[in-house]
Amino acid sequence: MDKTQRQAIKTAIETFTVRATKTGAIARETLVKEGIYLTSGKLAPEYQPKPARKTA
């Protein structure tokens, strides 16, 4: 990957971040679209913390 490609990727990430964080509602919608949160507002199962193990 050359310098131009890296710069294009950085620019795309910055553009996405600016759009995705414009408002709280847009940020929430983006997190749901990306699969991090469910439409109910809860974390998707794969992102939920694992339960603590009980010790004997």
Q: Is the Cα dihedral 21, 23, 27, 33 positive or negative?
A: negative
Tokens representing 24 are 């709280």
User: What's the number of domains the chain is made of?
Assistant: 1
17 lies in some domain: yes
13 lies in some domain: yes
* pTM of the full structure: 0.72
- The confidence score (pLDDT) of residue 42 equals 95
| Per-residue model confidence as pLDDT tens for the chain (56 residues) | 899 999 999 999 999 999 999 999 999 999 999 999 999 999 999 999 988 887 76
- The confidence score (pLDDT) of residue 52 equals 82
| Residue 32 structural domain | 3-43
22 lies in some domain: yes
* DSSP-assigned letters across all residues of 1-56: --HHHHHHHHHHHHHHHHHHTSSHHHHHHHHHHTTSB-TTSSBPGGGSPPPPPPP-
23 lies in some domain: yes
